[in-house]
Amino acid sequence: MNSEVVVIGGGQAGLAAGYYLRRAGLDFVILDDQTHAGGSWQDYWPSLHLFSPAEYSRLPGWPMPRWTSGFPPASHVVDYLRAYEKKYELPVRRPVEVKSVHRTTDGYRVDTDGDSFCATTIVNATGTWSRPFWPSYPGMREFGGTQLHAADYRVPDSFAGKRVGIVGGGNSAAQILAEISTVADTTWFTNREPRFLPDDVDGRVLFDVASDRARALAAGEADSGGVAGLGDIVMVPPVREARDRGVLHARPMFTALTSDGVTDGHTTERLDAIVWCTGFRPALRHLRPLHLHADGSGIVLDGNHVRGEPSLILPGYGDWTGPASATLIGVGRTARAAVDTIVNSRKVDQS
């Protein structure tokens, strides 16, 4: 099957790219490995809420419906993404699992668990949720309790009455700790002291800071560091409540696991379960056949495309692909830039 553009991934980045591809009049198809529309939002734990009001959590072209009580939950985002896909009649095929991408004389061949697709351009919008990062510590195999990643966390009920270690210094760790600590004895482990944002800073401020950084970088000005300079953890209501209960205190990271807990070499903490809130990596394994140019930190980008591969574009992976590009409102900016790159390359080829 042939298309000008194949978009790999049907979550928020893929849909935003589809919006601009449709406006540009390009022939494209979106391949999504999910059974239903909604991207990774449908896999998050049920209590997860956005950091911002609905009006600050929109994809290009159409605002998210209002949520009248606090910030919208993940389920509201899922409903919005499903309606967005339907509204713009985006050509999404699912469930389609992309196995590998190969170069051809005319562009790329995308091999899936069914058909193969040929395209001159690939927009890779696979996100990170499907590739949780597990660190390696001595004794992980010997630990007799439960271990799970934040990607697999849903509700706190199974931890009731247990001793639970929460590992990680970001928002996921703080929010999951806040919830589990209502039913269990929790201990929070971080590599460095957590940095909490002021109570009145939410996603609106973070997006404005990221936008200012994007404008400064585009103008060739010095990198301000963006939101990284403000802090790491947004004080959403459950996290504030956990602080008020006195459970939001982190301990230095342990060095090893034991059969019934963790140790720093001097003291041991007994635990029944550990929740690893240790982040994610970009889901790019299907690109391995391309042998992309990489340095010590991974694939190298020139702007929004892979170095040496101007027709292989990656939107929506956080600061790596543009300030705030992993957020609902920020991904539109990188999606538009991606499609502009495609359109401009077409003009060069036709001149």
Q: Does one domain contain both 7 and 113?
A: yes
Q: What is the pLDDT of residue 19?
A: 98
Q: Does one domain contain both 153 and 264?
A: yes
Cβ contact 147:274 at 8 Å: yes
Q: Decide if 251 is inside a domain.
A: yes
**Residue where a domain terminates, one of 276, 307, 328:** 276
Number of domains observed in the structure of the chain = 2
Q: Does one domain contain both 173 and 86?
A: no
Q: Decide if 210 is inside a domain.
A: no
d(CA 141, CA 330): 40
For the cut 80, the answer to whether the pLDDT of residue 200 exceeds it is no
Q: Decide if 206 is inside a domain.
A: no
Q: What is the pLDDT of residue 222?
A: 59
For the cut 80, the answer to whether the pLDDT of residue 84 exceeds it is yes
The parent domain of residue 324 ranges over 2-131+281-350
> 237: how many CB neighbours lie within 10 A of its CB?
12
How confident is the model over 243-258, as a mean pLDDT? 96
Q: Does one domain contain both 121 and 154?
A: no
Cβ contact 248:255 at 8 Å: no
Q: What SS3 class is residue 125? A: coil
> 121: how many CB neighbours lie within 10 A of its CB?
26
Highest mean pLDDT among 66-70, 163-167, 197-201: 163-167
| Whole-prediction pTM | 0.89
- Tell me the CATH number at 272: 3.50.50.60
Q: Does one domain contain both 269 and 340?
A: no
Q: What is the pLDDT of residue 289?
A: 96
The position carrying tokens 């460095």 is 192
Per-residue pLDDT band for 205 (boundaries 50, 70, 90) equals: low
Q: What is the pLDDT of residue 56?
A: 81
Q: Does one domain contain both 59 and 125?
A: yes
Q: Decide if 138 is inside a domain.
A: no
d(CA 320, CA 342): 19
pLDDT in tens, 292-313: 977 766 888 888 889 889 999 9
Q: Decide if 218 is inside a domain.
A: no
